[in-house]
């Protein structure tokens, strides 16, 4: 169905809202992060091959093929696959010998901060830019101290950090620089694919990512020596039978995960196209709702369009973000408040750094007004039209909604 053929519904009838007692608009839940499934046949064939081969882990052929494909998308020389992005971050941090304090955004999934704290390195939170929701270079300089050894930028929602400015700061203060690119596979920045920025970048292939390996992660880099160390470190430090050269851990990706990852990668173009069509439908249907705006993707860049990020301006829209989320949940639309609370408002950081919020006004602002809506293969423009209708209806019956939510 073309977008134009879908009516721009805006039936103002408070009884139509589930939060006011109507039947939920969706019979089954519409999730954020519903896994995309590529070809079942291809996946099952790969799993059969794996069983026939009896090679399930430890740098198997599917893992190697997966690494080649990811490196090719990221346009990097090396890719080292891992069991998930959190362990990949931890291993990259250790391989780069980060210590003391490392600067990160607080507005990110808590894994970015935990990967440091887990190794007794202090994540020092810097503020974000309001437009891109990524690290504000000025905010980085404000928190550099004599203990700072590195910076981890996060390409949030697939929007790349201001890599040029951050690189200059890293060089000026002699800091190691790496990126959490968990959201940014197949995205570009100023024409260059995400993957080649900093010393290394980390992708996630968790089930909820647009390309998934059930669970999975990968570190990409152009540094051969670093790639070699990363490979040892993900396998207990083994460099061959009986030869342990580094402190290591078990960060290996299994063959079953790589089989899923390869199958998912085969559908990359198709999934991105679905996400793009959904994004354009969101842009179209949500365009005229006052106080509601979408985080924009730059059409000059490669984007994976995997997150639909909605900003609710409390001074314009009569309901706040939490009320909007409650309205959606009642309709079986499981919108998420990513990333609220921000890391500095979560434990252990809340207790360890009780004054962190003083330097994070933009983080506080964005985290209080943003929510993420469903997209991917489980959503289509008809559903998105219904979502816009729900918001429009809530807009016109805001007092009743507020009242209902109090009880």
* Residues of the shown chain interacting with ligand T4K in the complex, contacts defined by CB under 6 A: 31-35, 84-86, 108-109, 111-112, 154, 180, 182-183, 204, 206-208, 217, 334, 338
CB-wise, 143 or 207, nearer to ligand T4K?
207
Locate 318 and state its tokens.
């009569």
CB-wise, 183 or 234, nearer to ligand T4K?
183
Helix 61-74 and helix 40-53, axial crossing angle in degrees, nearest 10:
130
CB-wise, 206 or 231, nearer to ligand T4K?
206
Least distance in Å: CB of 105 to ligand T4K?
A: 9
Task: Report residue 28 CA to chain centroid gap.
Answer: 24
CB-wise, 17 or 373, nearer to ligand T4K?
373
Least distance in Å: CB of 113 to ligand T4K?
A: 10
Least distance in Å: CB of 352 to ligand T4K?
A: 20
Residues 6+ apart with CB under 8 A from 308: 278, 279, 282, 294, 372, 373, 374, 375
CB-wise, 14 or 33, nearer to ligand T4K?
33
Least distance in Å: CB of 79 to ligand T4K?
A: 15
Q: What span, in angstroms and rounded, lies between the C-alpha atoms of 275 and 303?
A: 10
Q: What span, in angstroms and rounded, lies between the C-alpha atoms of 370 and 348?
A: 23
CB-wise, 112 or 397, nearer to ligand T4K?
112
CB-wise, 35 or 318, nearer to ligand T4K?
35
CB-wise, 31 or 402, nearer to ligand T4K?
31
Least distance in Å: CB of 6 to ligand T4K?
A: 25
Q: What span, in angstroms and rounded, lies between the C-alpha atoms of 160 and 133?
A: 10
**SS in 3 state form for the chain?**
CCHHHCCCCCCCCHHHCHHHCCCCCCCCCEECCCCCCCCHHHHHHHHHHHHHHCCCCCCCHHHHHHHHHHHHHHCCCEEEEECCHHHHHHHHHHHCCCCCEEEEECCCCCHHHHHHHCCCCEEEEECECCCCCCECHHHHHHHCCCCEEEEEEECHHHCCCCHHHHHHHHHHCCCEEEEECCCCCCCEECCEECCCCCCCEEEECCCCCCCCCCCCEEEEECCHHHHHHHHHHCECCECCCCCECCCCCECCCCHHHHHHHHHHHHCHHHHHHHHHHHHHHHHHHHCCCCCEEECCCCCCCCCCCCCEEEEECCCCCCCCHHHHHHHHHHCCEECECCCCCCHHHCCCHHHHCCCHHHHCHHHHHHHHHEEEECCCCCCCHHHHHHHHHHHHHHHHCHHHHHHHHHC
CB-wise, 20 or 88, nearer to ligand T4K?
88
The answer to whether residues 216 and 204 touch, using CB atoms and an 8 Å cutoff, is yes
Least distance in Å: CB of 118 to ligand T4K?
A: 12
CB-wise, 207 or 398, nearer to ligand T4K?
207
Least distance in Å: CB of 106 to ligand T4K?
A: 12
Least distance in Å: CB of 183 to ligand T4K?
A: 6
Least distance in Å: CB of 332 to ligand T4K?
A: 12
Least distance in Å: CB of 204 to ligand T4K?
A: 4
CB-wise, 35 or 341, nearer to ligand T4K?
35
Least distance in Å: CB of 53 to ligand T4K?
A: 26
């Amino acid at each position: 169905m073309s977008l134009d053929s879908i009516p721009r519904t805006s039936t103002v009838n408070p009884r139509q809202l589930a939060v006011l007692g109507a039947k939920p608009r969706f019979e089954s839940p519409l999730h954020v992060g519903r896994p995309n499934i590529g070809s079942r046949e291809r996946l099952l064939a790969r799993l059969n091959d794996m069983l026939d081969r009896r090679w399930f882990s430890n740098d198997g052929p599917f893992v190697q093929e997966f690494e080649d494909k990811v490196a090719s998308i990221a346009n990097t020389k090396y890719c080292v696959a891992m069991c998930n992005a959190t362990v990949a971050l931890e291993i990259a941090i250790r391989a780069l010998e980060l210590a003391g304090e490392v600067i990160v955004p607080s507005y990110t999934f808590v894994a970015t901060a935990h990967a440091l704290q887990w190794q007794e390195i202090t994540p020092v939170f810097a503020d974000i830019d309001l437009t891109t929701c990524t690290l504000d270079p000025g905010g980085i300089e404000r928190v550099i101290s004599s203990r700072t050894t590195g910076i981890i930028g996060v390409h949030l929602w697939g929007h790349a950090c201001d890599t040029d400015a951050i690189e200059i700061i890293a060089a000026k203060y002699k800091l190691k620089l790496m990126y959490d690119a968990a959201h940014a596979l197949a995205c570009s920045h100023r024409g260059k694919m995400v993957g080649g920025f900093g010393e290394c970048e980390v992708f996630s292939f968790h089930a909820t990512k647009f390309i998934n390996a059930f669970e999975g992660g990968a570190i990409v880099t152009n540094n051969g020596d670093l790639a070699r160390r990363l490979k040892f470190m993900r396998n207990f430090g083994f460099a061959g039978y009986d030869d342990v050269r580094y402190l290591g851990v078990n960060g290996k990706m299994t063959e079953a995960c790589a089989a899923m990852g390869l199958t998912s990668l085969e559908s990359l173009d198709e999934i991105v196209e679905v996400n793009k069509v959904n994004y354009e439908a969101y842009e179209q249907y949500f365009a005229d709702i006052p106080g509601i705006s979408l985080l924009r993707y730059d059409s000059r860049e490669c984007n994976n369009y995997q997150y639909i990020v909605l900003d609710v301006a409390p001074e314009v829209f009569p309901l706040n973000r939490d009320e909007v989320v409650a309205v959606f949940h009642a309709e079986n639309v499981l919108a998420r408040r990513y990333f609220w609370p921000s890391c500095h408002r979560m434990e252990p950081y809340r207790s360890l750094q009780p004054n962190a919020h003083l330097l994070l006004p933009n983080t506080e602002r964005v985290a209080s007004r943003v929510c993420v809506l469903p997209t991917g293969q489980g959503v289509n423009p008809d559903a998105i039209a219904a979502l816009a209708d729900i918001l429009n209806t809530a807009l016109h019956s805001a007092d009743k909604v507020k009242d209902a939510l109090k009880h």
